[in-house]
Amino acid sequence: MKTDQADYTPGSIVTITGSGWQPGETVTLTLVESPLIDTHGPFTVTADASGTISNSSFATDSHDLNVKFILTAVGSVSQAQTTFMDSQNGDVADLQRGHTNRAGRRGQ
């Protein structure tokens, strides 16, 4: 699973994509902020016939400036996690991106 950018300016739409899901699998996307200011989602998406997901339901807002987002996707078979930022200048030198899976199948 990944986002189309590692860092966003306030007001930007975040496009989330992933592959390796079960075709037709319902995947729930949740966003947790650090530091916690407010909440967003959850958003649900259904994997297409090739096991790919895509969602653009979330946009950052002015309250999200300099916030790190932890994005978790959970399906019936697997889950994945990644992070992204909303910062003013786009500096993500200390941002670590990746995903973790806690099931036998791989969701990205």
Q: Decide if pLDDT at 74 tops 90.
A: yes
**How far, CA to CA in Å, does 58 sit from each of 33, 37, 69, 76, 106?**
13, 16, 12, 22, 24
pLDDT at 89: 55
Q: How far is C-alpha 12 from the geometric centre of its chain's CA atoms?
A: 14
When pLDDT is cut at 50, 70 and 90, the band that residue 97 belongs to is very low
What is the pTM for the complete model shown? 0.77
Confidence of residue 87 (pLDDT cuts 50, 70, 90): confident
Q: Which of 8-12, 45-49, 94-98 has the highest mean pLDDT?
A: 45-49
Name the most confidently modeled range: 8-12, 91-95, 98-102: 8-12
pLDDT of residue 88: 61
- Average pLDDT of the chain? 82
